[in-house]
Chains A and B, each alone.
Chain A
Amino acid sequence: MANEKPKAENKAKGGKGKEGKKGKGGGKFVLVMILAGALLPFGLPTVLVCLGLLPTLVALLTDTDEHRSTTATIGFLNIAGVFPFLLDLWLRGQTMEAALAIVKQPTNWLIMLGSAAAGQLLLYAIPPAMAMLTITQYETRVKSLKEAQEELKKIWGPDVMNVTGLDEVRKRNGG
């Protein structure tokens, strides 16, 4: 449902929408390339271990949220899951053997990808809970605002709702 509006907007924009999407995807690709390029100085073994950050990469490429909350949630936990192996690699001297030893262990992949999955789990659990809390707050606020309006009407009469001139208001009140 949340995606309907962008879709409708894209529909309204016609062909230009596709171009825009294409352009956005291109930008993300450039970003990935830059990140990958940035990892190169750390060496190929590090890059190899960083394959564990693929969920983050996927999240980055698919996240349409303006604030990149999805990417951040998955990314932070994914990084936290990959970091022990990177640290282990760097402590072993960043060799190809050490890197291969890490990537060969399925449990390592479970940890790295599982951490990303934990992030996704947070994304399933927290927003609905927060939404429920916020909506309750909103409803309480609306109720109190409506009460305030009723109070204003009680004190000043129904003309407090409109912009009628004061003389006209007095005339209506019988004054």
Chain B
Amino acid sequence: MPPEPAPQQNLGTGLSLEGRVNIYPDAPLPEFAATGGTVYAAQMKGAATADLMAIVCMSSMPPRAELASMMRNIDNPSILRLRESGVVHWTAHNARYFALAYERPLAPRYWRTLDETHPPMGEDALHHFFVMPFVSALAEFERTGIVHGGIRPTNIFWRDGSATPPQLGECLSAPPGISQPVLFETIERAMTLPIGRGPGVHTDDCYAFGITLALAVLGFNPLAGTDDQTIIQMKLQKGSFNTLIGSRRLPTAHIEILRGLLTDDARQRWSATDLEQWLAGRRLTPKNTDAGRRASRHFSLGGKDYWQVRPLAVGLNANIPEAVKLIEGGNLDKWLMRSLGDEERAKDVADSVEQLKNSGKTAHYDDQLVARVCIALDPAAPIRYRGVAVMPSGVAGMLADAIINNGSIQIISEIIAFQFVTLWVNAQKDSKVDLVPLAQQMERVRSMIEKSSYGNGIERALYELNPALACLSPMLRGQYVNAPRALLAALDRVAAQNPARPAEPMDRHIAAFLIARDRRSDSIFIAMGPSEVPSRRALAFLALFSELQHRYGPDEVPHLAKWVLPLLDPVVKRYLSKPMQEKMKRLIKDAADKGSLAAMAHMIDDPRRIQADEQDFLHARLMYQDVTKEIAFIENKLSHRASVAREVGAPVAATVACLVAIAMIGLTLIRAIMQSLG
């Protein structure tokens, strides 16, 4: 059945995706269901018809937002065209989600389930209408460096045998490999937990294409109904090609391409370049190195006999206590040397045991020992530690998942802290050079986890390892803050909508997010730590937020400003003058009403004003002391009233007497003069 044509009827009110696309929540498209969220009809702004589909990433899995801009630039008929991406405000949930607007597929899903049976296709039709378009799509991915991570028949839109090129479905709404069945993953990735598979490499996509091609060639899934562990065991023991094709008769060309794509040695696996050469007529001869080397004698563990190293590594990991005894008792070393004759591997195992003993890291010693030995035995396999199997590049995704879904962060922290990634990278012989940056990054992150200061710890590791992850602060739930420029507006909305908001608009997640995304020094965040004095913390908040407002806007965040306002009380109290405190409160309240954090910071943290206040305080102190001295002096006088009378009154009496005497003498002289004159 072809998909429904774009509906022309009333789709209801559209929600704007960054102002460029309208998404219609009343028009879901379940036939295009994606891993990361629900799919709805969508329409480019100004377009006549709603010919787009939008995946609104409402799931708890982080979308691969970092690849959206690259994906938008890919215009290949075999890859579903991404037209727009961004954040949409979903009014029904009063939340913001990341959304991807794709052109709608031209055909229905190629396979609806992996248990379906399809008529086998002819060699030429398959070659022209299936293989060639997909080789072009894989070449595009190889060129851009994108790993699709979801190539499988159920994620392909194509009508059987149609001349229209098949289209690969979306791959950005969820972490890579999260919904990929074990069958389509290489042995190493299949052994890994889906969330811990990591982005993978280009040849992983080629492998998935090889499996898809095999199913298309056969017309059915030969492993339908087989459980994942059995599939992994079969691939380990027989190799992927033999597991899937076995002794089935196929055209030579198909055998050749499938051998090339399904080889279990990643170094030998065909890439898009190899496929293009093959299409151009150059015959490549894929080596049949699928099955592992068998030992002359078996190794007994947990009641089972193991003849190959890779299954043995799986067995060791499943029987930790017994495995520890066998490793420390030297049984494994003897088996590797005598039965397998692999001295190099035996040396690697001995070295990794020795390293652990010398490292002094004794926590979970047994688990560490077995994990290290498993890496030495099967370097390509994931890190297997305490029930978790994760590829080194998948540690980031697994950490994000653990934090989002309240999983065990402890085990992931230990994987980083015990340097398993570095050990794993060192165990890779040929591809070690390409993986060194990963090991270096993990070492950097390890030092961040060890720091407990604000802005460091596991949260910092999370954002450093996941460069496109939105901020996971609990207070920003539903806000999808994927960049520092979106933070203030989101906090303003939180302040406006949530009266029961936390006391402070800052937590360890926001701090770590800003350090990682804005490449900031962590010094300002250290000042926000709980051990700091309240005024210093509040000033650090205000300085940071005002700077963010200055750089990114918005110009007015009144709700956030009012959120910050009570935190500034201790800062106001830095001013020693009470009238100045009142004045500052009035000024910052006015600035908060206007939503200007910068104005608030300018008002309250003016060094000249603070200095003047200090000087005035010191003057007031001197004045107070002078007044105290004067009061003491006067009170002393008052306590000796008689001496006051003598000291003040006697000179006055003398003065009066003097004046009277002068007057009397003067009168006497005048009278005498008058008498003498007659």
Residues of A bordering B, CB below 8 Å: 1-2, 65, 67, 69-70, 72-77, 79-81, 83-84, 87, 91, 115, 118-119, 122-123, 125-131, 134-135, 138-139, 141-142, 145-146, 148-149, 152, 154-157, 159-161, 163, 166, 169-171, 173-175
Contact = CB atoms under 8 A, between A and B. Distances in A.
Chain B at the A interface: mostly helix, strand, loop or mixed? Answer: helix
Nearest to A129: B649
B419 to A, nearest CB: 44
A127 B648 contact: yes
A163 B658 CA distance: 51
Nearest to A166: B614
A77 B652 contact: no
Contact of A69 (B571, B623, B634, B651): B651
Nearest to A127: B649
A80 B569 CA distance: 77
Chain A at the B interface: mostly helix, strand, loop or mixed? Answer: helix
Contacts of A148: 623, 627
B661 A130 contact: no
Contacts of B571: 175
Using C-beta atoms within 8 Å of the partner chain, give the interface range for chain B: 35 or more
Interface of B: 533-535, 569-579, 614, 617, 620-621, 623-624, 627-628, 630-631, 634-635, 637-638, 641-646, 648-654, 656-658, 660-662, 664-665, 668-669, 672, 676
Nearest to B580: A155
Contacts of B651: 67, 69
B645 A128 contact: yes
Contact of B620 (A67, A70, A115, A160): A160
A128 B627 CA distance: 28
A174 B668 contact: no
A60 to B, nearest CB: 13
B407 to A, nearest CB: 41
Contacts of A152: 620, 623-624, 627
B578 A76 contact: no
A83 B660 CA distance: 13
B488 to A, nearest CB: 26
A173 B649 contact: no
Contacts of B637: 138
Nearest to A141: B634
Please give me the 7 A-B residue pairs with the lowest Cβ-Cβ distance, nearest first: A127-B649, A69-B650, A175-B573, A131-B645, A80-B661, A130-B649, A76-B661
Nearest to A79: B661
A128 B653 CA distance: 10
A159 B621 CA distance: 8
Given A79-B661, A131-B642, 9 more contacts: A2-B646, A65-B646, A69-B653, A76-B658, A81-B664, A134-B648, A138-B644, A173-B573, A175-B571
A80 B630 contact: no
Nearest to B569: A174
B649 A72 contact: no
A122 B648 contact: no
B189 to A, nearest CB: 57
A167 to B, nearest CB: 10
